[in-house]
Amino acid sequence: MASAAGEEGTVRFGIIGCAMIARKLSRAIGWPQRGRRRRRQPLPGELRGGPLRPARGRRLPSPPHQPPPALGVAAAASGKHLLLEKPAALCAADLDEILAACDAAGVQFMDSTMWMHHPRTAAMRELLSDPVRFGKLRTVNSIFTFVAGPSFLENDIRVKPELDGLGALGDVGWYCIRGILWAVDYELPESVVALRHPVTNAAGVILSCGASLVWKDGQTATFHCSFLANMTIELTAVGSAGTLHAGDFVIPAEERSAAFSFSSCAEFSDLHTSWGPLPSRHVVSSGLPQEAQMVAEFSRLPEKKWPDITRKTQLVVDAVKASIERGFEPVVVGS
């Protein structure tokens, strides 16, 4: 999806795509913004953005057989900032073409991972960064599954090798991996091992898979992503002193507020017959839905961190896929 800044204070969006997510984004783009937000300085050569006003998105059905990076490259080359739906590309090499085009044109790149922009995410980050209450991260587990119906499993672009060929890994798995990388503050894992027996459709597209990630200092992470299991959207991060758990981290169960639980320095009672303190429940209200928060954030460009975060996510996606293809061998990330 491409964005272009017009007159001062207004950001115009063009949408390439016709999936449900384009309708969701159109709604977010049109969402009335309360209060003017500080506008950052534009990058050299960048078209200037600003706080959002109610606007209309224009929808174009994207050409179905366009080579994946070509649309992004073309949009960037024509001076449009890019807000790209996940998976950002089918592999890091494709993504790099898009990122290079953005660099060359001086436009912003950001992937459309909406939960990153919910205020809950910032509240969770604050706790994860607390050396006393959370300490050093030890392990993360993430699960994102939902039940895809017969029509999805037959027709959706996410089950077609020539379209969104990464399947569940590029869809729900993208969020699991992003959640893990977010928790470790974007330090790439050393290596990734996919779990044996991923489920694929007849065309070889992944419908369900999992993997483990390890860091040299003993940090670990695991995830499971699937189109074949009940809706589950979990992130659990355990540190040397604290534990964070969110049961709906990608899409809050309710639109206007989201919860997580956090426990710190929990201990057994005498004789280990109970333990505490119990996790506390934190509820974070969101004046705007997270996708409207994302649109607002994208309109306050520039922000250099986003391309790097996308690229790291893509590198881990690539490593999981490579591990599956290489008989579940460990794969060095970025190799």
User: Which residues 200-219 are close enough to bind its own copies by CB under 8 A?
Assistant: 208, 210, 212, 214-218
- Binding status of residue 164 toward its own copies by CB under 8 A: no
**What angle in degrees, to the nearest 10, is found between the helix axes of 172-183 and 305-325?**
120
- Residue ranges of alpha helices (H) inside the chain are 20-29, 68-77, 92-105, 119-128, 150-155, 167-170, 172-183, 290-298, 305-325
**Interface with its own copies (CB under 8 A), residue from 196, 281, 304, 326:** 196
Q: What is the closest distance, in whole angstroms, from the C-beta atom of residue 124 to its own copies in the complex?
A: 15
- Binding status of residue 226 toward its own copies by CB under 8 A: yes
Residue whose structure tokens are 């893990």: 180
**What is the 3-class SS of 235-301, one letter each residue?**
EEEEECCEEEEECECCCCCCCCEEEEEEEECCEECHHHCCEECCCEEEEEECCCCHHHHHHHHHCCC
Could you tell me the two tokens for 72?
Answer: 């992004």
Helix (H, G, I), strand (E, B) or coil at 233: strand
| 151 vs 274, beta carbon nearer its own copies | 274
**Interface with its own copies (CB under 8 A), residue from 228, 304, 325, 326:** 228
| 80 vs 120, beta carbon nearer its own copies | 120
Give the x-and-dash track for 21-60 against its own copies (CB under 8 A): x-xx--x---------------------------------
Contacts (CB under 8 A) with its own copies, residues 290-329: 291, 328
DSSP structure string for 94-116:
HHHHHHHHHHHHT--EEE--GGG
Judged by CB under 8 A, how many residues of this single chain contact its own copies?
A: 74
* DSSP state letter for 15: E
Q: What is the closest distance, in whole angstroms, from the C-beta atom of residue 315 to its own copies in the complex?
A: 18
**Interface with its own copies (CB under 8 A), residue from 7, 8, 20, 32:** 20
**Interface with its own copies (CB under 8 A), residue from 139, 163, 282, 300:** 139
| 31 vs 182, beta carbon nearer its own copies | 31
